[in-house]
Amino acid sequence: MAKPGATKSRSTRVAGMVLALLLSGTLLSGCLESSDDADQAEVKASQKAEQEQQKADEKARKDAEASQAAEAERVRQEQEAHDQRVENERKQAEEQQRKDAEAAEAERVRQAREAESARVAEEQRQAEERAKAEQAAQPRGFAGTGSSSGGGDVSYANCTAVKQAGKAPLYEGQPGYSYQLDRDRDGIACEK
């Protein structure tokens, strides 16, 4: 038979072993729980890092969009300024062309007036020369004595009478010439 003290010691050993097993199970369970907690913490940290990355990506995207919008606005403003400069230059060119055309027209009118004045002056000069030539060609007997009638017994009431007589125009010194028939006093009466 076994000794009573030996049974007790064996029971104590078994109890110690059971206790040791329980303790190691608890420890093992604690370690497993600790490992699960670490995994969960790691998952949470990973999720948080992912969320932070998403936020950073979203901010970068918004910043890029804002930068693109600012660049587009700058380009639009530059284009508007360029278009305005081109329009102003076009208007200035048109205004200059208008002024040049007006100046050219004024010069053309001036030259036409000068040409007309020269033509009229030349016609008057030629008429005076003709009158002098005809007067010089007249026989001396037709020359007046300084009277306004210019010659002899012939006189006309008006230019219509001179024209009906077929004597128009009358030159100073010719019979029938008078200052009353010579409106512009150029020595040629009833010229028209």
What is the pLDDT, as a whole number, of residue 137?
63
52 class by beta-carbon count within 10 Å (0-12 exposed, 13-18 middle, 19+ buried): exposed
Q: What is the mean pLDDT of residues 105-117?
A: 93
**Cβ partners under 8 Å of residue 149, min gap 6:** 155, 176, 177, 178
- What's the Cα-to-Cα distance from 131 to each of 53, 117, 128, 175, 183, rounded to whole Å? 115, 21, 5, 14, 16
Per-residue pLDDT tens digits for 116-167: 989 888 988 888 888 777 776 654 434 333 344 444 578 898 999 999 999 8
What is the pLDDT, as a whole number, of residue 71?
94
Confidence check: pLDDT of 16 > 90 = no
Tell me which residue has tokens 């010719």: 174
pLDDT band at residue 191 using 50, 70 and 90 as cut-offs:
confident
Q: What is the mean pLDDT of residues 64-92?
A: 95
What is the pLDDT, as a whole number, of residue 126?
87
Termini Cα distance of the chain: 185
* Residues recorded for the chain: 192
